[in-house]
Amino acid sequence: MEKTTANCIVQGLLQSVGITINGQAPDDIQIHNDNFYPRIIRQGAVGLGESYMEKWWDVQRLDNFFAKILRGNLESKISIPWRFKIKLLLANIINLQTKWRSKQVAEQHYDLDNDLFTAMLDKRMVYSCGYWKHATTLEQAQEAKLDLICQKLQLKPGMRLLDIGCGFGGLARYAAEKYQVSVVGVTISEQQYQFAKQYCQGLPVEIRLQDYRDIHESYDSVVSVGMFEHVGHLNYRAFMQVAHRALADGGLFLLHTIGGNQLSSIPNEWICRYIFPNGVIPTIAQIGKSAEKLFVVEDVHNFGADYDKTLMAWYDNFKQHWDQLKTRYDERFYRMWTYYLLCCAGSFRARTNQLWQVVLSKKGVLGGYQGVR
């Protein structure tokens, strides 16, 4: 496609959502390379992200820029590249989240230098959405989220909790310290495993380097926070079966996951390539379908708007600590990580992505479940 034609198409699309090329507003895009226009038409989301990493364009407020283009659904107005269509087709046939493939996201993302996550996250190293209802800082929001989970699970001293995808051990330690429960946490990330073991030392917490499909014991309660996004739609049922098998009769299972408004077998192509390989976010219908005949859905809580605040807090921490991080990461990584955090913040601000906490029981809570907010 000629640059002039591509320029007109891209300019028209951006203007339709109030973005001016080389304009003066903080969310206006500044183009440094005219090859940007045909590249976006040809490559879509991956071209947009890669050209940003290559300094072809800038936006002062990248988060607002993405909120506008996602709210305006501009991606659907550009033809999907043929290779992405092939990936969509293959994702419905080939299990991209087998035990072997599932390790790719651990190796590429979660096994990055822990110094990066220490600089970006709160003191408990919680790498999931905070709960900002009464919070004004990231520390408060993450503690509120951990306590919300423990209250929803109705944890009591002496209970045994399974944490599927335990991350750096923040929830496991909090539940053990504040609610006097014993915890088994599983992760497939070597870096998270080593960190969590040290972080939870001296508490009744066991951290395992283990795939969720290898869980066979019984627990009073089960929780999974920010891990279901890596399970894959072909494995949703198997995941629910594992949780059902692990949960004792009368216990509660809490699933905390990012969700989408429409069905997709794979996420944004740029995110899949550079941040979360083989990841995909579920719809509420997929969650419900995978739980059929296994669980009763007791409560669904959507606080997706809080992920916008969480991601912006992470970005502020990342930017603040960049001087100490840049000895290990180059400027291309800085732009990649900035793009990741701010485009995701924009997606939650636009309400195209959600954050659900779903509480499930095996046979229904007698007398009804009282939801916590």
Distance CA 50, CA 317 (A): 23
* Strand pairing report for 160-164 and 219-225: parallel
Active site residue 344: yes
Q: Is residue 166 within 8 Å of residue 192, measured between CB atoms?
A: yes
d(CA 131, CA 140): 8
Structure-token pair, residue 355: 């954050």
Say if residues 25 and 77 touch (Cβ distance below 8 Å). no
Which residues lie closer than 8 Å to 365 by C-beta, 6 or more apart? Answer: 252, 296, 298
Q: How many CA atoms lie within 13 A of 89 on its CB side?
A: 7
Contact between 102 and 189 (Cβ < 8 Å): no
Which residue has tokens 């969480």? 310
d(CA 351, CA 261): 9
What is the DSSP secondary structure assignment for residue 47, as one 8-state letter? Answer: H
Phi, psi of 343 (to 5 degrees): -70, -35
Asked if residue 104 lies in contact with residue 278, where contact means CB atoms within 8 angstroms, the answer is: yes
* Catalytic residue list: 344
